[in-house]
Amino acid sequence: MKSNFPFSTVHMFRGLGFHGQREQFSLSRANSNTKTQQRAFLNMASVVVGRAFASSSSISSGDLSSNNSATTKMSVAAAARRGLSSSALLSFKSANAMLGKRRTHRQHRACFARGAASSSSSERQQHELSPPTRKTNEFVQLSKKAAPPAPAPQQQLSTFEQVLYGGIALTAASVLKRELAPGCELIDGKQIAQEIREEIKEKVEKMKTITNGNTPGLAVVLVGERKDSQSYVRSKKKMCAEVGIRSEGTDLPEDATEEEVLKVVRAYNADPNIHGILVQLPMPKHINEERVLKEVSYEKDVDGFHPLNIGALSQRGREDPRFVPCTPRGCIELLKRSNVEMKGKKAVVVGRSNVVGTPAALLLQRNDATVTVVHSRTKNPEEAIRDADIVIAACGVTEYVQGSWLKPGAAVIDVGINAKDDATKKLGYRLVGDCDFESCKKVAGKMTPVPGGVGPMTIAILLQNTLEGAARSYGVSEQLGLKN
Indicate the DSSP class of residue 282.
S
- Do 26 and 8 meet the contact criterion of CB atoms below 8 Å apart? yes
**CA max distance for the chain:** 93
Nearest to 448 by CA among 277, 295, 333, 316: 333
Which residue of the set 303, 389, 414, 436 is catalytic? 303
Which residue of the set 236, 300, 442, 446 is catalytic? 236
Query: Is 236 noted as a catalytic residue in this protein?
Result: yes
- The Cα–Cα gap between 196 and 173 comes to 40
Which residue of the set 24, 37, 280, 464 is catalytic? 280
- The Cα–Cα gap between 84 and 63 comes to 19
Query: Is 303 noted as a catalytic residue in this protein?
Result: yes
Q: Which residues neighbour 360 within 8 Å (Cβ) at sequence distance 6 or greater? A: 327, 328, 331, 332, 349, 392, 394, 415
> 290 to each of 258, 294, 404, how far by Cα in Å?
11, 6, 39
Pairing between strand 185-186 and 429-432? unpaired
Quick one: the chain helix, strand, coil %, rounded to 5?
45, 10, 45
- Do 276 and 324 meet the contact criterion of CB atoms below 8 Å apart? no
Active-site annotation, residues: 236, 280, 303
